[in-house]
Amino acid sequence: MTTFARNRHATTLRKLLAAATFVLASAGVFAQSIVIASTTSTEQSGLFGHILPLFKETTGIEAKVVALGTGQALEVGRRGDADVVFVHDVAAEEKFIAEGYGVERHPVMYNDFVLIGPAADPAGTRGNDIIAGLQKIAAANAPFVSRGDKSGTHAAELRFWKATGNEANKGSGYKECGCGMGPALNIAASGGDYVLADRGTWLSFKNRGQLAVLVEGDTRLFNQYGVMVVNPTKHPHIKAADAQRFVDWIISAEGQAAIASYKIDGQQLFFPNAGK
């Protein structure tokens, strides 16, 4: 091949590559994106479906969610398989930061946990004392389904059982499903079980059957959510700048208003409290 032919061939290849790059960029292949490791409650409640399109509209960044229990979501962050962690177990989040896996923890929003069970309430749990409610479930050997998945909800449930003073005795009806909040509620609905749930997922849950909220209003049921950028010094491939833009947006007035505006049947599922 002559020098002229080689040069012409190289020019043609450059033009083809440039055209291919343009097509791929137009198709969104090179669009900015981040991965958020979060809880099943934020995903299954529909919150992300509401707020993430607003975030993309403002920033041009697409956020992809990996929905797991809080413990698993934090492990995803530890491995560097997510850019942001958005979960609800303050003690575990603070440990994540102390170990150097997160840059800074920001409170974002809260709701509460509720004890769900059959409306007839055969164990007599109804009221505003979660510890007394669990004691009655254990005494009656009533069926209780635990998520058993190291999620924020599971961690809260174990704290409440410990507070009963007899955490080893949860009654013969106690069982773990190792599943997310939605599946745990489905099991409870089909079997008439008691279950601890976050209010957001409960409000979005359609297959309620004979289930009802039985215990609520106990200050111990407070459920705080936090958000953190995964530390790029641990994992240099983390998209730290775009991840920080998500954190900055979600704790901004715009992001907080987006959270507050998410309602089901007129009921607000999460209450923003960034900076408080």
Q: Is the pLDDT of residue 139 over 80?
A: yes
Same domain, 95 and 118: no
β-bridge pairing 62-68 and 33-39: parallel
Same domain, 166 and 181: yes
How high is the pLDDT of residue 22? 45
Is residue 177 in some structural domain?
A: yes
Same domain, 230 and 192: no
Is residue 266 in some structural domain?
A: yes
Instruction: Count CB atoms within 10 A of the CB of residue 56.
Output: 15
pLDDT, mean over the chain = 91
How high is the pLDDT of residue 275? 86
How high is the pLDDT of residue 9? 44
Q: Is the pLDDT of residue 197 over 50?
A: yes
Same domain, 131 and 197: yes
Same domain, 211 and 117: yes
pLDDT grade, residue 131 (50/70/90)? very high
Is residue 205 in some structural domain?
A: yes
Report the percentage of the chain scoring pLDDT > 70: 89
How high is the pLDDT of residue 2? 54
- Beta strands, E only, 183-260: 195-198, 211-215, 222-230
| pLDDT tens-digit readout, 41-78 | 899 899 999 999 999 999 999 999 999 999 999 999 99
Q: Which residue has the higher pLDDT, 83 or 23?
A: 83
Report the percentage of the chain scoring pLDDT > 90: 86
User: 228: domain range?
Assistant: 33-110+224-272
Is residue 252 in some structural domain?
A: yes
Find where tokens 């409440």 sit. 160
Distance between CA 188 and CA 273 in Å, rounded? 31
Same domain, 129 and 186: yes
Same domain, 135 and 170: yes
* Nearest to 208, CA basis, from 187, 226, 180: 187
Is residue 251 in some structural domain?
A: yes
Find where tokens 């942001």 sit. 84
Same domain, 158 and 81: no
| pLDDT tens-digit readout, 97-119 | 999 999 999 999 999 999 999 99
**pTM summary value:** 0.84
How high is the pLDDT of residue 31? 63
The CATH number of residue 187's host domain is: 3.40.190.10
* Nearest to 84, CA basis, from 40, 35, 151: 35
pLDDT grade, residue 192 (50/70/90)? very high
Is residue 18 in some structural domain?
A: no
